[in-house]
Amino acid sequence: MPEAPNCAQLLYLACGSRSLQIQALYAAYSAVAYKSGVNLAIHVFSDSPASFRVLENQICVHAVTPAQVKSWRGPGKYAYRMKIAALSELSSRFSESPILFVDSDTFFIDELGKVLSRIDSRHAVLHRKEYPVLTCPTGQLQRFRRRMGKFRFRGSFVDLNADMWNSGVIGLHPSQFHLLNTVLAFIDAISPKYNKQLVEQYAVSYFLQKNVEVRAADDCVFHYWQQKEEYQSAIEPKLQAWTERPLGEALAELRANRIVLPPFQPRHGWVRRLRDRILQEPE
């Protein structure tokens, strides 16, 4: 599929495990199913471009080399920096188009155009607001505040007076692309000393909130980050079946039969701590 310069751009990043490629493929199917005539180009940056061949006429697949992966991880060798670096790369190619980045462990559940309509020069999009960083009582956030409170960025101590948003969706207007440079600089200042996933999440949340109004996208994008294994078990048989069926049938089935599993049930004690630690590990 040729790149389209005069339309909105949707981006997925799929570098790493086979599981991540599977999740990203289903996510891309959902984007195709729910774009409904929107003038949109769908991009996948991947170190396994062959994994997306089934959608080659619907999406633009960009091969990512090991050298790019190393560069995108930055000085902290920080896996979560890659999504911001990929966003920055695409924004440099399409400097006049709004861009929507969506994590691989997601799928659309409503029209994609609804999310795009929320992006303008005064508004950006993130997945959903989660909690105020200064008052969230969990052990994870207590540790985050202790560590981050010791760091400086551009001469000042890190300001933790902001809400944490889930960054599984990031939607930016071209007038906001310059903020990606600030987010990357913040990550590069902090991640060599503290490389938890929350660093990237807070950087995106903070610098967007301080510059524009943020709108949520969780009514249109489902993010199953806490239940990856369960959702992947439901996704894989569908993808396998769709390889033998016309694309139109696959897209109709995806829209008609949304995957709905029992919601995540938080666990406690050492089981929860172990799960939290695993979720911090990059794919």
pLDDT in tens, 40-57: 999 999 999 999 999 999
- pLDDT at 267 (0 to 100): 64
pLDDT at 89 over 90: yes
pLDDT at 272 over 60: no
Between CA 21 and CA 30 the distance in angstroms is 14
pLDDT digits (tens, 9 = 90+) for 107-163: 999 999 999 999 999 999 999 999 999 999 999 999 999 999 999 999 999 999 999
Confidence of residue 3 (pLDDT cuts 50, 70, 90): low
- pLDDT at 274 (0 to 100): 43
What are 254-257's contacts with CB under 8 Å, separation 24+? 254/29, 254/30, 254/33, 254/107, 255/33, 255/34
DSSP string covering 136-169? --SHHHHHHHHHHTT-EETTEEPP--SEEEEEEE
Q: Domain 8-280: give its CATH architecture.
A: Alpha-Beta Complex (3.90)
CA–chain centroid gap for 56, Å, is 21
* Whole-structure pTM value: 0.93
- List the domain boundaries for the chain: 8-280
What are 47-52's contacts with CB under 8 Å, separation 24+? 47/14, 47/15, 47/16, 48/14, 48/21, 51/14, 51/21, 51/22, 51/24, 51/25, 52/14, 52/21, 52/24, 52/25, 52/28
Q: How many CB atoms lie within 10 A of CB 273?
A: 13
pLDDT at 277 over 70: no
- pLDDT at 283 (0 to 100): 40
The first and second tokens of residue 33, run together, are: 């199913």
- pLDDT at 79 (0 to 100): 97
pLDDT digits (tens, 9 = 90+) for 183-212: 999 999 999 999 999 999 999 999 999 999
- Looking at every residue in the chain, the average pLDDT score rounds to 93
Between CA 94 and CA 10 the distance in angstroms is 11
- pLDDT at 186 (0 to 100): 98
Residue, of 61 and 274, whose pLDDT is higher: 61
The first and second tokens of residue 178, run together, are: 């310059």
pLDDT digits (tens, 9 = 90+) for 220-249: 999 999 999 999 999 999 999 999 999 999
Q: Which helix (H) or strand (E) holds 41?
A: strand 40-46
Q: Are 118 and 215 in contact (CB under 8 A)?
A: yes
